[in-house]
Amino acid sequence: MSPTPLLDTLQRPLHDLRISVTDRCNFRCTYCMPKEVFGRDYVFMPRDELLTFEELTRLARIFVAHGVEKIRLTGGEPLLRHDFEKLVAMLGGIDGLKDLAMTTNGSLLTPKRARELRAAGLRRVTVSLDSLDDETFKSMNDVNFPVAPVLAAIDAAAAEGLTPVKIDMVVKRGVNDHDVLTMAEHFRGSGHILRFIEYMDVGTTNGWRLEDVVTARAIHDQVNAAWPIEAIEPAYFGEVAERYRYKDGAGEIGIIASVTIPFCGACTRARLSADGELYTCLFGTRGHDFRSLLRNGASDAAISAVLASVWGARSDRYSEIRNEDTIALHKVEMSRIGG
C-alpha cells in the first residue's frame, strides 16, 4: 500500500522524522547544553516518561504510513540509551522506511558498537565535531573530551559502511571560526562530508547573539579561496545543506545556513522528543502530546488522525521571520529534540 502523503498549510510534505531517544548527554556543549543550566542538579526525564522502544516503533510505523521515508535517531546522545541497538533493529524492520541514520557526538561509538549498529540496520552516521584542536574542542564540549576518540569513531563508522559519514561543525565567531580551513583540509579527499553550520538560536539557554554567527557566505568564501568549490544540486527535496564540491575532485562539503539563508519553504521535518512530544519546527515553542495517546489506548487510526491534523495545521517558518520578538520566545531546547 502506498503511503498517504500529508501536506501542511504551505504545501510542504512530511518526509523526515527525527526521534530523540534521550534528553541526556555526556557532553555540555556551550551552544546546546551549557553547564550553567544543565549542571549536576539538573533533573532529566525519568525513565518511565521516555517512550519505550515499542511505542517509538509504533509511532514510526504510523509516520511512515503518511510518507516519512527517513528517520534520524538523535538525543541528547542517543548511544546513552540502554539497548539502543534493539531500537535500531525494530525501526529497521519497518516496511517503506528508506533510510535510518543517527547523529552522535562520537564519544561512545567504538568499532564494536559501529559493527552492532550496522548489523541492526543503521545505514548512516553523522558525527558532531566542532574543531580538530584539542583545547578548542574541550572548551566547546566543556567536559574535557579530546578529539582523537571522535576521529576514531568516524573511522569506525566508515569501516562498517555507515557512509557517507557526515561531520557537523557548528561555527561560532571568536570560538572556532579559525578552524574552518583546518577542518576542510583534514576531511578533503576522505570520502566524508563536512558540513558547516551557522550558530543558531535554538532553545533559550545558549546565549545566542547575531554577532556570534559566522555567515554561510563567509564560510563559503574562505573555503573557496583555499580550494575552489562549485555548487551542486540537492540530493533530495528538503535537504538543509547547500552542497558544494571541490573543483579538484576532492569530495564535497555542505553549509547549513538557517540564519542567513532560511530554508523553511522546503522543510519536511517533524521532531519527536524522548517523552513523546511532537514538534513541527526546530525552533518550536509548543509540542503535541503523543505519549498520552499511546498510553491511553488510542488506536492507530486515532493517532494517525491526530498526526494528520497537526501536520495539516503546520505553518512554521521561524527562520524566515526571525526578529527580536521571535528570538525572545521560550523555545524547546535542542537537547530535547536533537538538531
pLDDT for 1 equals 59
pLDDT for 115 equals 98
Q: What are phi and psi for residue 217, nearest 5 degrees?
A: -60, -45
For the chain, which ranges sit under pLDDT 70?
1-2, 339
pLDDT for 244 equals 98
Contact between 273 and 23 under an 8 Å Cβ cutoff? The reply is yes
pLDDT in tens, 48-79: 999 999 999 999 999 999 999 999 999 999 99
Residue recorded with cell 556551550: 30
Picking from 119, 68, 84, 10, the residue whose alpha carbon sits closest to that of residue 278 is 68
pLDDT for 265 equals 93
> CA-CA-CA-CA torsion for 235, 239, 240, 242, nearest 10 degrees?
30
pLDDT for 3 equals 76
C-alpha distances out from residue 300 to 60, 129, 159, 230, Å: 11, 39, 39, 46
Contact between 334 and 95 under an 8 Å Cβ cutoff? The reply is no
pLDDT for 6 equals 96
> CA-CA-CA-CA torsion for 90, 92, 94, 97, nearest 10 degrees?
150
pLDDT in tens, 231-268: 999 988 888 999 999 999 999 999 999 999 988 999 99
Q: Which structural domains are found in the chain, ordered by start?
A: 16-337 (3.20.20.70)
